[in-house]
Structure 1
Amino acid sequence: MERVALVTGGSRGIGRATARLLAQEGYRVAINYRQDHAAAASLVAEIVAAGGTAQAFAADIAEEAQVMALFAAVDAAFGPLTALVNNAGILFQQARIEELDATRINRVLATNVTGAFLCCREAVKRMALRHGGRGGAIVNVSSAAARLGAPGEYVDYAASKGALDTLTTGLSLEVAAEGIRVNGVRPGFIYTEMHADGGEPGRVDRVKAQLPMRRGGQPEEVAAAISWLLSDAASYVTGSFLDLAGGK
């Protein structure tokens, strides 16, 4: 069976490393991005130059119509989806709760929670045996913040990832008999561009001495965990979480 993977938020960071690795492993990779077309296009070019198959697809997963159009476009380009990596996520400037407003909170939840729900919904419609699918695997990219709370920095982001963990657990049970496995990874303190979105590009270097492993992680380390959870080697694993936070 042809393996087709959709990686949301695939133009940078963990998503980029995951798309690259899955292409190396023989997946036809759909790389979703919201606005950085140049970054997505450069990744596609890199994968194709290495002998892989990839295509970039623009969509804001916080918008239901765009999610539906995204999945339809992937269907047309690559055929039946077999793997979904729900990686797209946003956070904003570090802030205490007194500084948060509804606009920020709702934007975080729209992307990190509603967007993930919508992508899971569309994937299940295509993968589930009850819908004529052939099964598949979903990996939701959560965060160590779901366990730690991110006090004084991103409580809204942490709460959104806690919701994503609950989605992972519930959905894994809902579709286990339909040939779909659903698992999560919880990275923490990884060297990605996301820390700059929060106003502190050097955050990992600031906190790494407090971690049991005394170092930050690399996106490729998270990608390897995602790849394993999608693979046949994890065929009896569902509803599970892999923490990648240096022991924190």
Structure 2
Amino acid sequence: MTSLKDKVALITGASRGIGRAIGERLGREGATVAINYRSRPEEAAEAVRAVEEAGGVARPFQADVADMADIRRLFAEVDTAFGGLDIVVANAGLPFIGVPVVDVREEDFDRIFGLNAKGSFFVLQEAAKRVRDGGRIIDISTSTTAFTAQGMGLHAASKAGSKLIVEVLAIELGHRGITVNSVMPGATNTEFIKDAPQEERDRIAAGSPLGRLGEPDEIADVVAFLASDQARWLTGQHVLANGGARV
């Protein structure tokens, strides 16, 4: 894979889980990584160390990407710190609330849509303004936008909008050589699922022909490819990274 040396990457929600794995992977390719976090500075510091141990350069940047002012401040601070941006990974999001549509509360809707829909939209908007020509914009979506399942209505709906924005931005930014794609993970072995009962974990794992959950570094590998020069002819695409599951 082409090295990401001299490239600057911003990853939102990068202090743990998939975001942290992405930061470490891009750092291994030589990127300078801006680690965004909202409220856990100690976890962000650990993520920075992981990037540095992988051979990259990293700094933490606090911002709540559900807040417009914070989004603009975040991008401005990264721009000032590193002199520009080449890669933006819109990863921050809230996990699914597995309840039937009829049981969704207004406060749940506002909280989930506030980050997964509004936050993602304006992170992608700011990325479109800031990323240098020839850059990469990657949205971390979810396989629930491709395969419906009971209890996934709120989560899938909150992510569906950014899937369409990816396609629109790919058209709007193509003349600048910027590619815009999304990655759609399935069930991944992060902190959101590690504490689930083993019976539930086994049930979810059985949905994949490979018979297991995905790992954060497997999602990170897909993102690293999309961030590389090898993916220069891919844009407006959605990569389903869910181990072949159909549920």
| Secondary structure of 2:206 counterpart | helix
RMSD of Structure 2 on Structure 1 (CA): 1.7
**What is the identity percentage for the equivalent residue pairs of Structure 1 and Structure 2?**
39
Of 170, 174, 188 in structure 2, the residue corresponding to residue 190 of structure 1 is 188
Looking at structure 1, the residues matched to 164 and 127 of structure 2 have their Cα atoms a distance apart, in angstroms, of 18
Of 192, 195, 214 in structure 2, the residue corresponding to residue 217 of structure 1 is 214
Counterparts of residues 165-204 of structure 1 (less than 5 Å): 165-195=163-193, 200=196, 202=198, 203-204=200-201
Q: Runs (4+) of structure 1 moved beyond 3 Å? A: 199-204
50-59 vs 202-211, which deviates more?
202-211
Aligned residue type for 1:6: L
Of 157, 160, 170 in structure 2, the residue corresponding to residue 159 of structure 1 is 157
Counterparts of residues 84-163 of structure 1 (less than 5 Å): 84-91=88-95, 93-127=97-131, 133-152=132-151, 154-163=152-161
Of 53, 77, 81 in structure 1, the residue corresponding to residue 81 of structure 2 is 77
CA drift of 1:119 comes to 1.2
Q: How many residues align?
A: 240
User: Is the contact made by 2:13 and 2:19 (CA closer than 8 Å) also made in structure 1?
Assistant: yes
2:55 maps to 1:58: no
User: Is the contact made by 1:5 and 1:85 (CA closer than 8 Å) also made in structure 2?
Assistant: yes
Unpaired runs of at least 5, structure 2:
none
Looking at structure 2, the residues matched to 92 and 9 of structure 1 have their Cα atoms a distance apart, in angstroms, of 16
Looking at structure 1, the residues matched to 217 and 95 of structure 2 have their Cα atoms a distance apart, in angstroms, of 21
**TM-score with structure 2 setting the length:** 0.91
Unpaired runs of at least 5, structure 1:
128-132
CA drift of 1:173 comes to 1.2
User: Is the contact made by 2:27 and 2:54 (CA closer than 8 Å) also made in structure 1?
Assistant: no
Partner of 2:224: 227
User: Is the contact made by 1:193 and 1:201 (CA closer than 8 Å) also made in structure 2?
Assistant: no
2:221 maps to 1:239: no
CA drift of 1:123 comes to 1.4
Partner of 1:130: none
User: Is the contact made by 1:147 and 1:162 (CA closer than 8 Å) also made in structure 2?
Assistant: no
Looking at structure 1, the residues matched to 148 and 96 of structure 2 have their Cα atoms a distance apart, in angstroms, of 15
CA drift of 1:134 comes to 2.7
